[in-house]
């Protein structure tokens, strides 16, 4: 699935001459890029490396290459269902896939080298690798969400205090490179003023929206832990996106082993929850490798804001590889979509986002609001 890029989107909105004013209007509608909008899904952090060789220089070279390949394995595991690329990662041209790396910590000996790396990959090169092998992958990152770690014990609710081991586990075990980026609040006085335990428990929409806004996200996920945490007891986790009744909640049971510290049990629960959210997102955003087809659709233009939201939606859909504006007026636009995975799969994704495709009497396709799915939820 070849990606076509332009300055107007990750996979490209390619305007013709008659759409230049449209592009300018869209830039104004989208506003400046924020730190939260930067795609970090092709970056892998905290990669531990260690190697020995005839001298320190050779050991460093060997360790860096091994670390880059280990980071690539983690990246492919994040983007694809099984992490497979049809060949051994050791045989891949790593220099063509890595865009940069940073050494965060290092220890150098006479014949040894150890370090912690952060590796950034060239998105286009990685996607081309997967495309060439016909491997489906999630080619967009989810919007970040703030997690509200509420712990209900036998004695009451805990949220921001130092006695909330559930929040402490999120602070320690959070995977910052996950497909669904969670943001853990500081738990300071400002957070306490925005959301108290009772508000979190009842899902106070206004309070949770204010918390999300503080951390630069558009949504909050309430991660509720129930149980005393005593050895051998059950810990039940329920998580759902606040304010989205259509979002299917995440449910899991973690049993604390007799010889396991509570902190380890809770860290395991955090890891499992993040993995589950990633898997759900990957399922919704992944299209099986298949030939593309062109669909010409007509849609109403609802002002600069509405038009900008529609183009962002199309850019985020994994099925839509390229969007081209063929005609544009104040009331209506005609788009050509290069679609992978078939029209039926596209209609399902559009439906989840609150849109639908219908055939007009002239056999042209009309893109309009009216999907029956879960709105704009991506979790």
Q: What percentage of the chain carries pLDDT values higher than 90?
A: 21
Residue-wise pLDDT for 33-72, tens only, equals 333 333 456 888 888 999 999 999 999 999 999 999 988 8
Between residues 145 and 83, which one has the greater pLDDT?
Answer: 145
Quick one: pLDDT band at residue 247, thresholds 50, 70, 90? low
In 10 A of CB 88, how many CB atoms? 8
Could you tell me which residue, 214 or 281, shows the higher pLDDT?
214
pLDDT over 70 percentage in the chain: 78
The confidence score (pLDDT) of residue 20 equals: 38
Residue identified by tokens 């921001």 is 160
- CA triple 376-377-379, angle to 5 deg: 155
Highest mean pLDDT, choosing among 51-55, 73-77, 81-85: 51-55
- For the stretch 110-163, pLDDT in tens is 999 999 998 888 887 887 787 777 777 765 566 788 999 999 987 889 999 888
- Give 220-268 as a DSSP string: EEEEEEES---TT-EEEEEEEETT-TTSPPEEEEEEPPTTS-HHHHHHH
Q: How far is CA 373 from CA 6, 52, 63, 351, 359, in A?
A: 30, 55, 48, 5, 20
What is the pairing mode between strands 13-15 and 355-359?
A: unpaired
Three-state SS at 172: helix
- The predicted pLDDT at position 22 comes to 45
Higher local confidence (pLDDT), 361 or 148: 148
Is pTM, for the whole model, over 0.75? no
Rounded to whole angstroms, how far apart are CA atoms 160 and 148? 9
Q: Is the pLDDT confidence value at 253 over 60?
A: yes
| Full set of structural domains in the chain with CATH | 13-33+287-369 (3.30.70), 43-132 (3.10.28), 145-285 (3.40.50)
Span 298-338, pLDDT tens digits? 888 776 777 877 888 887 776 777 788 888 877 788 888 87
Distance separating alpha carbons of residues 86 and 104, to the nearest angstrom: 32
Q: How high is the pLDDT of residue 18?
A: 39
What pLDDT is stored for residue 4 in this prediction?
A: 28
Beta-carbon contacts of 336 under 8 Å, excluding residues fewer than 6 positions away, are: 294, 295, 296, 297, 323, 324, 326
Give the list of residues 6+ apart from residue 208 with CB closer than 8 angstroms, or none.
Answer: 148, 195, 199, 200, 220, 222, 242, 243
pLDDT grade, residue 245 (50/70/90)? low
């Amino acid at each position: 699935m070849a990606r076509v890029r332009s300055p107007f989107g990750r996979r490209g909105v390619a305007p013709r001459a008659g759409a230049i004013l449209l592009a300018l209007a869209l830039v104004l509608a989208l506003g400046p890029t924020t730190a939260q909008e930067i795609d970090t899904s092709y970056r892998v952090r905290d990669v531990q490396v260690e190697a020995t060789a005839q001298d320190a220089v050779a050991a460093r070279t060997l360790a860096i290459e091994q670390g880059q390949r280990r980071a690539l394995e983690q990246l492919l595991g994040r983007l694809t269902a099984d992490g497979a690329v049809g060949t051994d990662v050791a045989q891949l041209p790593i220099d063509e896939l890595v865009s940069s790396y940073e050494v965060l910590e290092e220890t150098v000996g006479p014949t040894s080298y150890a370090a912690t790396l952060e590796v950034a990959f060239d998105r286009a090169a990685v996607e081309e690798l997967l495309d060439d092998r016909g491997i489906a992958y999630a080619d967009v990152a989810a919007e970040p969400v703030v997690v509200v770690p509420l712990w209900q014990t036998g004695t009451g609710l805990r949220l921001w205090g130092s006695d909330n081991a559930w929040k402490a586990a999120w602070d320690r075990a959070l995977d910052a490179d996950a497909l669904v980026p969670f943001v853990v609040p500081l738990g300071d006085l400002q957070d306490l003023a925005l959301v108290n335990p009772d508000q979190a428990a009842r899902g106070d929409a206004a309070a949770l929206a204010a918390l999300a806004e503080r951390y630069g996200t558009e949504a909050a996920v309430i991660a509720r832990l129930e149980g005393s945490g005593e050895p051998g007891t059950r810990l039940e986790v329920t998580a759902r996106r606040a304010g989205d009744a259509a979002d299917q909640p995440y449910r899991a049971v973690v049993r604390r082993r007799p010889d396991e510290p509570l902190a380890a049990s809770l860290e395991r629960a955090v890891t499992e929850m993040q993995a589950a959210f990633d898997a759900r997102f990957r399922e919704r955003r992944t299209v099986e490798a298949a030939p593309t087809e062109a669909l010409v659709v007509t849609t109403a233009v609802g002002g600069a804001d509405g038009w900008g939201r529609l183009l962002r939606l199309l850019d985020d859909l994994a099925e839509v590889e390229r969007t081209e504006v063929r005609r544009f007026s104040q009331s209506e636009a005609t788009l050509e979509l290069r679609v992978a995975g078939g029209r039926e799969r596209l209609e399902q994704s559009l439906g989840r986002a609150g849109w639908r495709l219908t055939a007009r009497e002239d056999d042209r396709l009309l893109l309009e609001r009216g999907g029956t799915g879960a709105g704009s939820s991506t979790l």
